[in-house]
Chain A
């Protein structure tokens, strides 16, 4: 029996080895990271080739963070996920059991190699004079933002507005809810992802202000120079921590665990941190953050943990079916 077991294991090993071919990874990410990962993937492929002599191709998939997580749960064969918020990766862990529950402790900084925040992108000259969150509830202001049920960035934007209200009204939740109701009363249309809402604002010419990822706002400025968009950084916003994780079971099945792990670890390297900063993601590396400090205005950044008791609670309270968002948006 032992002999047959040995033969079986040998055949398995042979099968795995013989099945090896060009290495391909699938990075399932959220909407606005296309440009970042295009640049990073090229850098990593070069690094991996130098380190191992192997070629690696990284395919990208982008969409609303919540939708992307659901796709992975439904079978999209991601080797790694780089999503907008930890709750979406928790969902993959809990519902599909594709990675362990402690995934966030496996990489530094809670598996978030870069951070970001939510800012305002306004039209040339800021004709509505939008400077802070309370300017958004003026009756004549039209806001463009994605649907927080499907978009990670939109959930950060919602919570940033809510956090402003809590801070402003002495943590009076009723007043904060009233404030957020007024904010979404000025939202005429909800895209499913952050990139979609950028298109709505920048290409379709809808609205006075786009609630955007900081990096997305810079990208829109760059992509539409003739529009003269201006970025307004409010005095207070939220510390957005988009996490990254290995999808263990998929990577193991694809035989890509080693390269996928290296792919995520390399996001913390100096080279990658430079790329992230150049793409307007706030790097974790203090030296590189200091080098690009001019790109990232200082503001008060609250966290989900401190204001909302963590993502699980925030999700349940605000974004689950029947939650606060459903109540305030459906009632309009």
Chain B
């Protein structure tokens, strides 16, 4: 074949050369045609030679060549089949359900992620030690299982999320969360069931990430869990979060299940708007800024048998310092308002919240509007340099003493103040109740890894007024000094 092309090339070259020469010498086209015929004749000779060469191959050689070609094809087919089998196996693996076990818990999902089952959990082993407890806190020092909650959550049919969270930490099993959430898209979601009422900033923070063992005094004025429906979502890539819902309505801070049972036919309207305007900004020092406001409104119709009022406001040490007097009940409008905000930048954090709980109450034939308020601010600094956030701290170097890594350490401080409306105080407050509680706290939080945390803190609460000898109602110690510890597993 090469020979053929060589001859053709030579001939063409000759032809070109002659053509050029022809231009100079004005040769006739007959010469060119003659040359073309010569080239064609040469081509025919080459082809004839090639055919002769082929026919001269022995039958054995031809058969051998065919066999080699057949074998080559078979090998290629086998290799390709293996390739396709591997691809099919890889595709099949993708279609298999996925099991994940990591620091975020256990997850089991269908291949298309339309069905997901997750298991998370919280175990908090606490201690409370009251110092200089000559008063009513004697005998209150205790180790306790503050929370022991398996959290079952997941998704069915792609858009329906669920959460079921019982708590085994108390004297009996209590269901804290049980809800279904339909997420059409991030901006539009509907939740139904029992879950946290959308008002407070600290109260909405996950239990595993709160700064101190107990939430601040502000939380006393806000609802805990409630039963109802909520429309909520994140807009503009999470820069705006909203929630609005209709609920049974709940007295100030009462834990489930009592807090979620309707006392009357009236319903509460709760809502919250929270902004993080610089969440996606290039200015990193502004990204962690968030602020908003939450609130609620309801008409309460209590009675002397079912007051629909808080069972009492509690200190950091979970001792009641204010209760309504016997016979006082909710008798009308109850609204709350809670401006709130936080700022996180690197290891620094600050959170602040203010709350008003305005409640109409009646005792026998007299009624009054009681407006209680509280505020708090919490600051923190991660000594080991990790970023602080509303959703916790992830140590850069998880605890592993063999390799010299110890996790993350954070120092925290908080001041909180709760004012009881002192108008008509004597009429509506249980004897011995305080009209104000001021609490400051300091602590050290040690994050061994994403899941395990060990905390120690001290809290001192002082009171205006109050004190006495009535058990479980008035102030139990003046001041109240408590040392807390916590060993937590949260995943």
Contacts and interface: CB of A to CB of B under 8 A. Distances in A.
Given A8-B231, A74-B112, A75-B112, A15 B84 contact: no
Interface magnitude class on chain B: 20 to 34
A200 B231 contact: no
A206 interface: yes
A272 B114 CA distance: 36
A191 to B, nearest CB: 6
A189 B187 contact: no
Interface in B441-483: none
Contact of A253 (B84, B114, B184, B237): B184
B17 to A, nearest CB: 31
B158 interface: yes
A18 B185 contact: no
Given A15-B187, A16-B188, A18-B240, A206 B80 contact: yes
A15 B233 contact: yes
Contact of A142 (B73, B88, B236, B237): B73
Contacts of B112: 74-76
Identify whether the interface residues of B are mostly helix, strand, loop, or mixed.
mixed
A192 B77 CA distance: 15
Contacts of A15: 185, 187-188, 233, 235
A196 interface: yes
A12 interface: yes
A189 B76 CA distance: 11
Contacts of A207: 73
Interface in B96-127: 112, 114
Interface residues of A, number: 24
A12 B188 contact: yes
A188 B73 CA distance: 10
B231 A11 contact: yes
Contact of B84 (A21, A76, A196, A205): A196
A206 B73 contact: yes
A18 B84 contact: no
A110 B424 CA distance: 81
Contacts of A8: 231
Interface string A54-95: 000000000000000000001110000000000000000000
Given A8-B231, A18-B240, A21-B237, A75 B184 contact: no
A105 interface: no
A204 B79 contact: yes
Given A75-B158, A142-B73, A189 B235 contact: no
A18 B73 contact: no
Given A11-B244, A191-B84, A192-B84, 12 more contacts: A8-B231, A12-B188, A15-B187, A16-B188, A19-B185, A19-B186, A74-B112, A189-B80, A189-B84, A204-B76, A204-B80, A206-B77
In the A-B complex, the 10 residue pairs with the smallest Cβ-Cβ separation, listed nearest first, are A18-B235, A19-B187, A15-B187, A15-B188, A75-B112, A188-B77, A206-B76, A204-B80, A189-B77, A75-B114
Interface of B: 73, 76-77, 79-81, 84, 87-88, 112, 114, 158, 184-188, 231, 233, 235-237, 240, 244
